[in-house]
Chains A and B, each alone.
Chain A
Amino acid sequence: MADVQGVRAEAYLAPETLGQLAPFELRAKMIVEGVMSGMHRSPYQGMAVEFAEYRQYAPGDDLKHLDWKAWGRSDKLYIKQYQQETNLDIVLMIDASASMAFGTLPVKGGWGGTAASQRTGHWTKFDHATALGVALAYVSLGQQDRIGSSLFADDLMSIVARSGSRQQWRKIVSSLTADPVDRETDMRKVTDLVLSKVTNRVLFVIISDFFEDIEAIRQSLARFKHRRHDVVLVQTLDRAEMRFEYDEPAPFVGLENEGRLRVDPRGLRDGYLEALGRHCEQLESIATGFGFDCIRVDSHESVGPPLAHVLARRSALAARSSVR
């Protein structure tokens, strides 16, 4: 796929392109194809499940690993041994709070369009998060991982139990086909609810803007750590939030009931960016302190790099825990 007809594969991953694709399936496949096509340049090569060697069958081996074709050809029983044969459990946690409905990237009217773009005409952070989530689910299912998902705000809005079935991806897509709610985020409550449904070790991929009290986030991540889960924090921000390129004085209205504030953006820009930067640094510091990954995503940029990052993280985690 790479460089076919002179078009870079990453071009498929651009939000401008994804925003014109209404069906999640199509959007996810395009993301995956884009990611996979760029793998040969990716520093995260080798993440696929690879055949390692044959060995003689021994009583007690699981018959499902028996190579029946080799037995047919040579009449001998061999067991296929893989370098990575232990699948992961992955849970996507996607923030659907009101702040995720923010977006400033205009979306051109295409032959479908997302619900967000149809309503606001902009590519929102939630659009970006769900696009990333379904793409990750698609790839993970292709690697025989079990994956589940949940939408949350101040509560769990929907949840799809982990599974590696062929229908799982459509379930996840169906559950993510939703709109953000007019509510704030409550990470501690949501964390408790999610962890109550998980018994084994799971890789949690939390896609959110993390616009919440930093102490609440710290407490939430501490619980994940306590339960020995691994977490990847994908902080999704809109470029307008990152740069605050407003010029004219205007009343600003918060999406999570923060109220209304008359602001001279030029006068407040430095203070705002300072506060936002401090919050992001604290988030990264907490995540690093727990050994978690934290990446920041600009919703105006391609979803490819963060997807590749998560997959690399998944690969590293699987290799560490299941080589035998």
Chain B
Amino acid sequence: MTLLSPGFLLAGVLAVAVPIVIFLLWRQRRMPVQFAAMRFLLEAERKHHRRLRLERWLLLAIRCLALVALGAALARPILESAGVLPGANRAVVVMLDDSMTASLRGPDGTTALDRHRDAVRELLDGLEPGDRVGVVTLSRATADLLPPSSDVARVRRWLDELEPRPLRANLPDAMEAFADAARIATAEGFEPSAYLLSEFRAGSADLDDVLPDLGLPPSVPLRAVSPAVDLAANVTVAGIDPVRSVIVPGAADGSGQIAVRLVRHGDLAASTSRVTVEAEGVPPLPAREVRWAPGQTTASVEFRLAVDPGTAQSIAVRARVDDDDLAFDDAAAIVLEARPALRVAILARGGFGSARSLDRLGAGEWFERALMPGADGAIEVRRLEPAAVVESDLRDVDVAILPRADLVRPDGWDAIEAFGRRGGVLIVTPPDELTVHPWGEALAEAVAADWTIDRATTVLDVPVPIAAPRVVPTLLGMLAAELEELAQPVFVARLLAVEPGPRTETVLALDDGRPLLVASWMGSGRTDGAGPRASAPVLGTDDATGSDGRLDPVRPASGNDPDDAATGDGRGGLVIYLAAAPTLDWTNLPSKPLMVPLVQELVRQGLGLARGAGRLQVGTRPRLVRFPAAETLLGPSRFGPSVRPIAGGTETGGTGGAGASAGSAATAGPAARLPIGTDARPVDPIDVPGIHTVLDVADRPIGVVAVSLDIAGGRTEVQDAETVSNWLGRSGDWRTIDAGTASEALQADGGGSALAAFLLVVLLILLVAETLLGRRFSHLVAGRAGERGTAVGSILPSMSAATAGGVRARGGRS
């Protein structure tokens, strides 16, 4: 038996002396009473001696036992489980927060994880032989699950090696994991319990998350430590937004311009942040300061990358802010693609030149004119015969415009499908000369877009203008300020209507609501999951766009595979459909000012979305469809695409240096290699942010991708304890404890509490017995003043008559 507080038992044993001393002192300190009728007292004493002594010692024993029982109960004894308390073995599951906010350092320099780790160690110390312990981390509940086992040493080793991860806590998954473990433990005869160790900051406990109902009986102890109350200043690099993801150096289209978005959490006092940006192959940029006003939470700082003309490579860009309490999100990185020019192929038939009048120009001509208004050479346009196009024709093409889909042969559709898989952008318009359009099926099969195109042209009785967009679409973000004005004079008289699917972004629509310009990821229309984009995210829908209505390529789309949703690489090609052929018979768009910027933006932003961003998110297994030869994901110990293979091929030494990764925690040490599976996904979730290099089977770099943090995990705001408690209460009866008392809570939840309760019951019984016996042995009933006369009178009836004043003569002659 183990005593948690042996001092109490010692005190209880010592306290036994109190009634004994009182008993002895009571006897010693009484003044003797002179009494005449001593002979009758002695007679009564002789007769009742045994009973009186038994009563006296019985009372004393009960009082002493009560004190011992009280001390023992307060000492909280724990019986050895083996063979003493059947079924008392416990299966303790520790749910440990190792997410981003667990790296917050307190005033003493220790992280929240350090403190939680100490609490877990105390818990382990309190386990009894036969108990089991398991651990679930909140960042990777499914991957980092140590099922409950009696191998405590293993848990200790695992704890020693545990470090905070740049991941967001996923409490729902952790609870599911615990519930499964609890059910298994119960089935095996163990008593499960859970201890949730987290600071419950906004980043680690998103109160909008729906927690699962654990469905455990109320007897299963669920304990959670109190939420943190101390503020922590944290500035997060929320993202780097390039104007153009595909840079054409020297082009006057915003190439090279980036905006670094900052978000501030926790302490919102006035402060200053210093922002630095570095990009590979680009001259150093001066740092810029952000002056935070009190209460200000967001800021944006613009930089311009001076990329040398002619540069043709991926450019890793990293932005940093000064170190603060949370280091993980002090940096972010993206990969930009620089090339001398964008290559656009127009798959249309017909001659060039100025011989034809404007009203006879075909769609191809209009697209050609729209793409070559200036002389900056940023876009190279070539024309391809649609009936003869093959895969090799599109190999070096970035954007393909298809105004004559009716002419494409099956080989051509295969080429288009391959083109999309490489991340190309396909812009489709209905052939202007047709009324019936049978090509729609072939297109649907090739691109599997999430929409349905009519088979017949719709001729509108009255030309319908373009509606002012409610939300500026992602593809036309650069035109936001002028889009409404540009769209106003455009009318559509004829169109081949399209029915957008749930994953289709309607870029422009007519006044009557009919979609005019829609965009979708290739493969998003497939529902069998066979295609590379079967679960591609929604473009332009609420759940795929940010709060401002723009597409956020990082934000996962609910209802889809988050791994794919989180990555531009996973999306592959982008297909854009213009429902009205850009000819004057269908619409006056070609002759209006909107035409040129519209086509330019579709090409530039479409390509940027499809290929240039290349941002993945930690904690996911994205499908790297742009890199079909990918075998390994390396990183993030380097900054840039150059890789130095090492012998054995298991690790790759990084170039290190400044900006080796987005997270400071990953700046040192060898780069981790993450194999790519046959499904084109890493075998494990990527758990380190930064620039990762994609290697082929020969460890040759074939590309780079940027892995970003889930910045929501860096919210350091403290949350109200009651609110957190109510939130946790949806999953079960969680009770709040102090982190320092987790071990005591464990003991209280274990067999000790039952034994203590048993002792308290014994104590209660002893007290009741003492009260009843003490009352009985003290003869108070007979001794009450008001009852004495009656009691004595019943014993001495003659005496009571005499004392009443009368005299009873017993003489026979009286």
Alpha-carbon distance between A247 and B779 when the two chains are bound, in angstroms: 10
B798 and A284: CB pair below 8 A?
yes
A274-B814 contact, Cβ under 8 Å, with A279-B40, A293-B809: no
| Residues of chain A lying within 8 A (CB to CB) of residue B530 | none
| B208 on the A face (CB < 8 A) | no
A277 and B796: CB pair below 8 A?
yes
B783 and A242: CB pair below 8 A?
no
| B777 on the A face (CB < 8 A) | yes
A298-B792 contact, Cβ under 8 Å, with A99-B37, A252-B33, A293-B810: no
| Residues of chain B lying within 8 A (CB to CB) of residue A244 | 792
B798 and A281: CB pair below 8 A?
yes
B33 and A266: CB pair below 8 A?
no
- Report the stretch among B47-55, B105-113, B240-248, B561-569 that lies at the interface: B47-55
Encode A262-306 as 1/0 by CB contact (under 8 A) with B. Answer: 111011111111111101110010011001111111101110011
- Report the stretch among B24-32, B152-160, B627-635 that lies at the interface: B24-32
B44 and A211: CB pair below 8 A?
no
User: Which residue of chain B has the shortest Cβ distance to A270 in the bound complex?
Assistant: B782
B807 and A306: CB pair below 8 A?
yes
A297 and B40: CB pair below 8 A?
no
| A223 on the B face (CB < 8 A) | no
Interface residues of B in 525-539 (CB under 8 A from A): none
| Listed residue (B44, B45, B47) with the most chain A CB atoms within 10 angstroms of its CB | B44
Partner of B802 from A102, A249, A252, A297 at Cβ < 8 Å? A297
Interface residues of A in 231-256 (CB under 8 A from B): 232, 237-256
| Residues of chain A lying within 8 A (CB to CB) of residue B39 | 211, 254, 258
User: Which residue of chain A has the shortest Cβ distance to B34 in the bound complex?
Assistant: A253
| Residues of chain A lying within 8 A (CB to CB) of residue B38 | 252-256, 258-259, 261
Interface residues of A in 59-86 (CB under 8 A from B): none
Partner of A263 from B41, B795, B798, B814 at Cβ < 8 Å? B41
Alpha-carbon distance between A302 and B777 when the two chains are bound, in angstroms: 36
Alpha-carbon distance between A291 and B56 when the two chains are bound, in angstroms: 46
Interface residues of B in 764-814 (CB under 8 A from A): 777-780, 782-783, 788-789, 791-792, 795-796, 798-799, 802-803, 805-814
| B36 on the A face (CB < 8 A) | yes
Alpha-carbon distance between A99 and B41 when the two chains are bound, in angstroms: 14
| B57 on the A face (CB < 8 A) | no
A252 and B41: CB pair below 8 A?
yes
Interface residues of B in 366-421 (CB under 8 A from A): none
Partner of A252 from B35, B779, B791 at Cβ < 8 Å? B35
| A316 on the B face (CB < 8 A) | yes
B35 and A268: CB pair below 8 A?
no
Partner of B52 from A232, A264, A276 at Cβ < 8 Å? A264
Q: How far is the CB of A231 from chain B (nearest CB, A)?
A: 9
Alpha-carbon distance between A203 and B43 when the two chains are bound, in angstroms: 34
B811 and A288: CB pair below 8 A?
yes
| Residues of chain A lying within 8 A (CB to CB) of residue B802 | 295-298, 301
Q: How far is the CB of B664 from chain A (nearest CB, A)?
A: 80
Partner of B34 from A102, A243, A269, A300 at Cβ < 8 Å? A102
Partner of B807 from A251, A287, A309 at Cβ < 8 Å? A309
Q: How far is the CB of A56 from chain B (nearest CB, A)?
A: 36
| Residues of chain A lying within 8 A (CB to CB) of residue B26 | 249
Which of the four size classes fits the interface of chain B? Answer: 35 or more
Alpha-carbon distance between A253 and B811 when the two chains are bound, in angstroms: 35
A316-B813 contact, Cβ under 8 Å, with A99-B37, A267-B52: yes
A271-B795 contact, Cβ under 8 Å, with A263-B41, A293-B814, A309-B809: no
A273 and B33: CB pair below 8 A?
no
A268 and B44: CB pair below 8 A?
yes
Partner of B788 from A245, A261, A271 at Cβ < 8 Å? A245
| B658 on the A face (CB < 8 A) | no
| B471 on the A face (CB < 8 A) | no
Alpha-carbon distance between A242 and B801 when the two chains are bound, in angstroms: 12
Interface residues of A in 198-257 (CB under 8 A from B): 209, 211, 232, 237-256
Q: How far is the CB of B804 from chain A (nearest CB, A)?
A: 9
| Residues of chain A lying within 8 A (CB to CB) of residue B33 | 246, 250-253
| Listed residue (B35, B43, B45, B795) with the most chain A CB atoms within 10 angstroms of its CB | B35
> How many A-B contacts if CB must be within 8 Å?
189
Partner of B44 from A240, A274, A316 at Cβ < 8 Å? A274
| A128 on the B face (CB < 8 A) | no
| A313 on the B face (CB < 8 A) | yes
B807 and A255: CB pair below 8 A?
no
Partner of A313 from B34, B42, B811 at Cβ < 8 Å? B811
| Residues of chain A lying within 8 A (CB to CB) of residue B44 | 268, 270-272, 274-275
| Residues of chain A lying within 8 A (CB to CB) of residue B40 | 272, 275-276, 279
User: Which residue of chain A has the shortest Cβ distance to B797 in the bound complex?
Assistant: A277
A305 and B32: CB pair below 8 A?
no
Q: How far is the CB of B715 from chain A (nearest CB, A)?
A: 73
A287 and B810: CB pair below 8 A?
yes
| A125 on the B face (CB < 8 A) | yes
B45 and A261: CB pair below 8 A?
yes
Q: How far is the CB of B628 from chain A (nearest CB, A)?
A: 101
| Residues of chain B lying within 8 A (CB to CB) of residue A272 | 37, 40-41, 43-44
Q: How far is the CB of B193 from chain A (nearest CB, A)?
A: 53
B799 and A262: CB pair below 8 A?
no
Q: How far is the CB of B28 from chain A (nearest CB, A)?
A: 10
Alpha-carbon distance between A261 and B32 when the two chains are bound, in angstroms: 9
A209-B796 contact, Cβ under 8 Å, with A248-B30, A264-B56, A305-B807: no
B783 and A258: CB pair below 8 A?
no
Q: How far is the CB of A204 from chain B (nearest CB, A)?
A: 13
Alpha-carbon distance between A252 and B39 when the two chains are bound, in angstroms: 11
Q: How far is the CB of B51 from chain A (nearest CB, A)?
A: 8
| A260 on the B face (CB < 8 A) | yes
Alpha-carbon distance between A252 and B777 when the two chains are bound, in angstroms: 19
| Residues of chain B lying within 8 A (CB to CB) of residue A256 | 36, 38
| Residues of chain B lying within 8 A (CB to CB) of residue A292 | 811
Alpha-carbon distance between A312 and B813 when the two chains are bound, in angstroms: 11
Alpha-carbon distance between A251 and B31 when the two chains are bound, in angstroms: 7
A269 and B811: CB pair below 8 A?
no
User: Which residue of chain B has the shortest Cβ distance to A294 in the bound complex?
Assistant: B810
A295 and B32: CB pair below 8 A?
no
Q: How far is the CB of B777 from chain A (nearest CB, A)?
A: 6
Q: How far is the CB of A173 from chain B (nearest CB, A)?
A: 24
B796 and A267: CB pair below 8 A?
no
| Residues of chain A lying within 8 A (CB to CB) of residue B780 | 266
B27 and A249: CB pair below 8 A?
yes
| Residues of chain B lying within 8 A (CB to CB) of residue A258 | 38-39, 42
Alpha-carbon distance between A250 and B32 when the two chains are bound, in angstroms: 6
Alpha-carbon distance between A291 and B814 when the two chains are bound, in angstroms: 9
| Residues of chain A lying within 8 A (CB to CB) of residue B782 | 266, 269-270
User: Which residue of chain B has the shortest Cβ distance to A248 in the bound complex?
Assistant: B30
A242-B41 contact, Cβ under 8 Å, with A287-B811, A293-B811: no
A305-B805 contact, Cβ under 8 Å, with A269-B779, A280-B799: yes
A266 and B779: CB pair below 8 A?
yes
| Residues of chain B lying within 8 A (CB to CB) of residue A267 | 48, 52, 55, 777-779
Q: How far is the CB of B268 from chain A (nearest CB, A)?
A: 74
Give the A-binding residues of B (Cβ under 8 A).
Answer: 26-27, 30-45, 47-48, 52, 55-56, 777-780, 782-783, 788-789, 791-792, 795-796, 798-799, 802-803, 805-814
Q: Which 5 A-B pairs have the closest CB atoms?
A: A254-B38, A271-B44, A293-B811, A102-B36, A258-B38
Q: Can you sample 19 A-B contacts with CB below 8 Å?
A: A237-B799, A240-B35, A242-B796, A243-B789, A249-B26, A249-B30, A253-B33, A254-B41, A258-B38, A258-B39, A261-B42, A267-B48, A275-B41, A288-B810, A293-B810, A295-B802, A305-B806, A309-B807, A316-B813
Known contacts A100-B36, A253-B34, A270-B782, then 15 further A-B pairs from the complex at CB < 8 Å, ordered by chain A residue = A243-B789, A248-B30, A249-B27, A250-B31, A251-B30, A252-B34, A253-B35, A254-B38, A255-B34, A263-B41, A266-B779, A288-B810, A293-B814, A296-B808, A309-B807
Give the B-binding residues of A (Cβ under 8 A).
Answer: 98-102, 125, 209, 211, 232, 237-256, 258-264, 266-277, 279-281, 284, 287-288, 291-298, 300-302, 305-306, 308-309, 312-313, 316
